[in-house]
Amino acid sequence: MACQVTVPSTRERVSAHDADPAPAAPRPPRRAGGLLDRWGSLVLPLVAFLLVVFVLPLAFVLAQSFTEPEPGLQNYTDFFGSPVYLDVLANTFRIAGMVTVVTLLLGFPYAYLMTLAGPFWRGVLMVAVLVPFWTSLLIRTFAWVLMLSDTGVINTVLREIGLISEPLPLLRNLTGVLIGMSQVMLPFAVLPMYATMRSVDRRLVQAAEGLGATPLQAFWRVYAPLTAPGVAAATLLVFVSSLGFYVTPALLGGPGDVMIGELIAKQLSGVLRWGFASALAIALLVVTGLLLALVARFVDLRRMLGGAR
């Protein structure tokens, strides 16, 4: 589900090191001919691991998209020639964008609250945000079905206390998808923002107030801009991870809320069009990559993912 995200972030982190703007410090002498020094060679097993579980399968998928069921481009022409499939792609980006907005709006104040809380409440808030990591995605999604359906917990309670007479449509539509996905993605928004907020020097806010800024101005002009790297990291992480969802939209969404992940799963398990499924996956990967490249032109990805400091 979140495998795409490891691509841009790891790559950016690794390259951030090479492009460090600091003046070249005298390096310890390297062994003749060695590409990696003694410590560098420790990452070799990891490189091998990534090669086996990530690069090779990806190459296989790429090859398959051009060869199954027969060599040629027809998988791609099918995809880009059909408005239905393109709608699914657009829908995927639309939903991922909306989930990103929702999690940021919820996650920013949540992370801020964590920085203000004392040790006990900070612990409570941290556990609360981490709970989704400790329960299976499937179980959580079914739990949402129980919560959101017409006879589910929420609608029943609202009807009992007389706030509504007809059940609210919370399931099998966009609302359901947004609720379910946002809950899953919330930790990915909260954690990077909290990490950045914790490193922001509080004394700067105080200094701003001493210079005549009201507490609100000090927050928005000094504190908030300094949390930008965390917000950017959260945005990227949530958005890219959201693109790959399929269980949640499949169970909580309606027919109009199909995401590309669901489409890929159907091609694989339902109609066994392996080549077409591969083409869909590659298309998602490429479009995501292009989008990131576009973002990178305007913001410093390295900086916002905490690479260069």
Partner 1 sequence: MNETIAALAGTGASIDVQGISKRYRDTTALDDVSLQVKAGEFITLLGASGSGKSTLLNIIAGFIEPTSGRIEVAGKDITTVPPYKRDLGMVFQHYALFPHMDVWENVAFPLRRRKVARAEVERQVRQALDVVELGRLAKRRPSELSGGQQQRVALARAIVFRPRALLMDEPLGALDKRLREQLQLEIKRLHSELGTTFVFVTHDQEEALAMSDRIAVLRDGALVQVGTPEELYERPSSRYTAEFLGESNIFTGHHRGARFIDATTKADLAVGETGDCAGALVLRPEHAHLAAPGSDIPIGHNVLNGVVRDVIYLGSGLRVEVTLPDGRAIVSRPAARGRYTPEPGTGVLVHWHAERALVVPDHPSVAP
- Chain residues that interact with partner 1, rule: CB under 8 A: 201, 203-204, 206-215, 217-218, 221-222, 225-226, 228
Distinct helix (H) and strand (E) counts, the chain:
17, 0
Would you say 158 or 226 has its CB closer to partner 1?
226
Rounded CA-CA distance 102/242 in Å is 12
**Which two three-digit tokens encode residue 188?**
């990915």
CB of 227 to partner 1, least distance (A): 10
Would you say 182 or 235 has its CB closer to partner 1?
235
CB of 201 to partner 1, least distance (A): 8
Q: What is the 3-state secondary structure (H, E, C) of 48-84?
A: HHHHHHHHHHHHHHHHHHHHCCCCCCHHHHHHHHCHH
CB of 217 to partner 1, least distance (A): 6
Would you say 55 or 204 has its CB closer to partner 1?
204
**Which two three-digit tokens encode residue 76?**
């791609």
Would you say 31 or 203 has its CB closer to partner 1?
203
Would you say 222 or 237 has its CB closer to partner 1?
222
Identify the CA nearest to 289 among candidates 301, 303, 277: 301
Residues 6 or more apart in contact with residue 104 via CB below 8 angstroms: 189, 231, 234, 235, 238
CB of 194 to partner 1, least distance (A): 19
Would you say 223 or 245 has its CB closer to partner 1?
223
Would you say 86 or 204 has its CB closer to partner 1?
204
Identify the CA nearest to 114 among candidates 99, 129, 101: 129
Rounded CA-CA distance 93/105 in Å is 18
Q: What is the b/e burial string over 175-198, where b = at least 16 CB atoms within 10 angstroms of the residue's CB? A: bbbbbbbbbbbbbbbbbbbbebbe
CB of 23 to partner 1, least distance (A): 12
CB of 295 to partner 1, least distance (A): 19
CB of 116 to partner 1, least distance (A): 17
Quick check: helix, strand or coil at residue 39? coil
Rounded CA-CA distance 272/269 in Å is 6
